[in-house]
Structure 1
Amino acid sequence: MSVSIKLLARFRKQFENDRLRHFVFVYGTLKKSNKQSLGKDFLKIGLMILLNLDQPNHKVLLNDVNGQAKFICIARTLQKWPLVIASQYNIPYLLEKPETGHQIQGELYLIDEQMLNFLDEFEGHPDYYHRRKTDIITDDFGSFESWTYFLPNYKTSMLSLPMYSDYDSFGQHGLRYVERCDRDGQNADVGHTETSEIIS
């Protein structure tokens, strides 16, 4: 599968922005609020709307200083992948082991080169996470390739952790993500200090 040139042109015209040129699929803390996974829990949905409880790092996609990102639609991976929550900071990791786990629910964005460079730095690509093209399925626009960030090197014990199809920091698992600004230790809010817990 490949990115549809016609689809890319359509969105550029819609957003009146020729700089938007990369599709990126986000599945973890970069997503918006996860209201679709709450079903009929109207009290929690209302509270999330009232408090604007987006996933913890979604704000970086909204910050024009980082570049530009436009939400396209809800999407899911074509293949199954293991999505786990690990480390002392409860970070969602998409492990690079195809046909294990579930099809992953997430969000598709169209971003510019500046935002792609920002996300590479934010995710620690290529030294920590690895950005690679992945086949994505959408209900409205069909299937095509999108950039996705994976963890290529990890302790095999992580494959024994519960695997999720739709991440929510505020989910019933009780493993709320610890934001970088709330982490203990010197320079804990910069980069990935949890590497020794994760990398084999």
Structure 2
Amino acid sequence: MSRVFVYGTLKKGQPNYFRMFNSTNGKAEFLGSAFTSEKYPLVIAGKYNIPFLLNIPGQGHRVHGEIYKVDDKMLNFLDDFESVPTMYQRTLAKLEVKEWVGQTEGEETLSPGNITEAFVYSTTTYQPDWPSLPSYESYDSHGDHGLEYVTREARD
């Protein structure tokens, strides 16, 4: 089992959240909410208004998201869904726990303020103007930014 930090369309209430709990993709269990220990630019870019976490540590905001425990099948699905390694890369990131609900037997229970690690999907491949785009600490596809995410189904 691996931990994955999601900050965009895979979070609760967002357009791709359902994919986290589609059993054909694998298993995922919500563990808690957290934010990145370091600042990163979280931008909305491209013609489909996709949220991208730019791998530029020290710029932007401490990004808020959710931590999930996933099995290998789900991890492989997420790698494919996130187009690793062409669009995103999966790397480990340090996170500060905001809320922890995970109570799995034999697993650590974390408290707010504790530091943990999880995989995060970020990108080092982006357009030259992306670092100058507005940066967000929390993503919502229907936020006041006015850049509504275009689902994969709607792109066809």
**Fold-level match, TM-score > 0.5?**
yes
Give the unaligned 5+ runs of structure 1.
1-20, 33-53, 189-200
Q: Deviations over 1:100-122 (max 9, x none)?
A: 00000000000000000000000
Q: 2:146 aligned with 1:171, yes or no?
A: no
- 1:127, distance to aligned residue in structure 2 (A): 2.0
User: Which position in structure 2 is the counterpart of 1:148?
Assistant: 120
Give RMSD over aligned pairs: 0.9
User: Which position in structure 2 is the counterpart of 1:134?
Assistant: 93
Q: 2:133 aligned with 1:161, yes or no?
A: yes
Give the unaligned 5+ runs of structure 2.
101-109
Runs of 4+ in structure 1 over 3 Å off: none
Taking the aligned partners of 2:86 and 2:139, their CA distance within structure 1 comes to: 24
Question: Percentage identity across aligned positions?
Answer: 47
Q: Which amino acid aligns with 2:36?
A: T
Q: 2:8 aligned with 1:28, yes or no?
A: yes
- TM-score, with length taken from structure 1: 0.70
> Quick check: which one's helix share is greater?
1
Q: Which has the higher contact order (CA 8 A, sep 6+)?
A: 2
> Quick check: which one's strand share is greater?
2
Aligned residues: 143
- 1:145, distance to aligned residue in structure 2 (A): 1.2
Taking the aligned partners of 1:178 and 1:155, their CA distance within structure 2 comes to: 19
